[in-house]
Amino acid sequence: SQKIEQNSEALNIQEGKTATLTCNYTNYSPAYLQWYRQDPGRGPVFLLLIRENEKEKRKERLKVTFDTTLKQSLFHITASQPADSATYLCALAFPLYNQGGKLIFGQGTELSVKP
């Protein structure tokens, strides 16, 4: 069955540094991959989508890479700020013709940015 693994440990970094979060998957060829942010007690919020034929996507201070050979996505936050502290989830998508394109979520990586 499909398996998704994110950084198992919480990530602690200093303000201003770049945070890099990892998402690895097995037994799967996703149509696209998404990253979400989740704050405690709240629903996840969509950040970025990257398709299987794209290598990199950027949005403001965020950058996502997608390597289908390594079966890995990296999520970078540059010039990190304490407000970036949250749990970040990666999600892999089935093609739309397969179960409506459902998402499978990783367990998330908790990021803490210290001032």
Partner 1 sequence: EAQVTQNPRYLITVTGKKLTVTCSQNMNHEYMSWYRQDPGLGLRQIYYSMNVEVTDKGDVPEGYKVSRKEKRNFPLILESPSPNQTSLYFCASRGQVYYEQYFGPGTRLTVT
Q: Is 44 in the site for partner 1 (CB under 8 A)?
A: yes
The strand pairing partners of 65, in sequence order, are 56, 74
The piece of 9-17, 62-70, 75-83, 104-112 that touches partner 1 (CB under 8 A) is: 104-112
Taking the C-alpha atoms of residue 34 and residue 45, their distance in angstroms, rounded to an integer, is 11
**From candidates 46, 79, 81, 82, binder to partner 1 by CB under 8 A:** 46
Question: Which residues sit at the interface with partner 1, rule CB under 8 A?
Answer: 32, 34, 36, 41-46, 49, 89, 91, 93, 99-103, 105-108
